[in-house]
């Protein structure tokens, strides 16, 4: 069994895989790392391999504790990957994007795939049918757009993301919801259309914290998968375990 560890800025995730099957996952605050790790290892005592992906920072105590328990593969720009990386600045490429592309080549081999991750940022990652990762795009996520309106203006309030009831907002709150949400939806739909013009038979995957919400709003045909990043990390671990 494999343990996948995904470290964010505030929260972390554990996922347990039996071969390709996700059998368990949980999310928790970073300060609970050791306690949650012990719970997982007690419940799944046949875990033999582990991969960690970190866009945040795990405290030294937690990192050392994990390494004492299991052999750990730490995903970084030097990790062997199951695709050809044509990105010009690989050392600045987020490990989360490496995992998403790995999931794409695992689940959709010999296909042109665009992976859209709607989280803190909205990222677009393109991998071709010949297994080459080209890059993509990064734009502000939904929460970031709401916060920027509040932080960078004197009078606009900070609102929680809400689907607008009308295209034309006739209050300030409704206008913010219309501007942010319709802006995101039209951005994603428009970019999907542009990618389809350049890459034939394109498969589009939508993942990330806002995937389920956005999938109901988009006009484009997509596949929503909230576990795509975890699946990609597991595949990278499998790929390196065969080395």
By annotation, the residues acting in catalysis are 96
203 assigned ligand-binding residue: no
216 assigned ligand-binding residue: no
117 assigned ligand-binding residue: yes
CA nearest neighbour of 234 among 19, 10, 9: 19
| Sole residue written with tokens 């062997």 | 80
Distance CA 202, CA 226 (A): 20
| Sole residue written with tokens 């937690």 | 62
28 assigned ligand-binding residue: no
The vertex-28 CA angle with 233 and 101, nearest 5°, equals: 20
95 assigned ligand-binding residue: yes
108 assigned ligand-binding residue: no
103 assigned ligand-binding residue: no
141 assigned ligand-binding residue: no
120 assigned ligand-binding residue: yes
94 assigned ligand-binding residue: yes
96 assigned ligand-binding residue: yes
162 assigned ligand-binding residue: no
8 assigned ligand-binding residue: yes
Q: Which residues are annotated as a binding site for ATP?
A: 6-13, 120
* Binding annotation: 6-13, 87, 94-97, 117, 120, 172
Residue numbering of the annotated binding site for substrate = 87, 94-97, 172
Query: Residues comprising the binding site for K(+)?
Result: 117
């Amino acid at each position: 069994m494999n343990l996948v560890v995904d470290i964010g800025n505030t929260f972390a995730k554990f996922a347990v895989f039996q071969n390709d099957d996700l059998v368990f996952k949980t999310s928790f605050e970073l300060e609970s790392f050791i306690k949650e790790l012990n719970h997982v290892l007690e419940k799944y005592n046949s875990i033999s391999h582990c991969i960690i992906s970190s866009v945040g920072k795990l405290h030294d105590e937690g990192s050392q504790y994990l390494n004492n328990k299991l052999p750990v593969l730490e995903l970084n720009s030097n990790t062997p990957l199951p695709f050809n990386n044509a990105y010009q600045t690989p050392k600045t490429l987020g490990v989360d994007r490496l995992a998403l592309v790995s999931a794409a080549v695992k689940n959709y081999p010999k296909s042109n795939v665009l992976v859209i991750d709607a989280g803190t940022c909205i990222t677009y990652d393109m991998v071709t049918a010949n297994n080459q990762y080209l890059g993509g795009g990064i734009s502000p996520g939904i929460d970031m757009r709401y916060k920027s309106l509040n932080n960078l203006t004197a009078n606009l309030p900070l609102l929680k993301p809400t689907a607008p009831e009308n295209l034309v907002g006739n209050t300030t709150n409704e206008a913010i919801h219309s501007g942010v949400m319709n802006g995101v939806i039209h951005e994603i739909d428009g970019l999907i259309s542009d990618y389809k013009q350049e890459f034939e038979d394109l498969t589009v995957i939508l993942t990330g914290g806002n995937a389920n919400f956005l999938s109901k709003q988009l006009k484009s045909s997509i596949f929503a998968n909230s576990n795509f990043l975890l699946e990609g990390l597991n595949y990278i671990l499998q790929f390196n375990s065969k080395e």
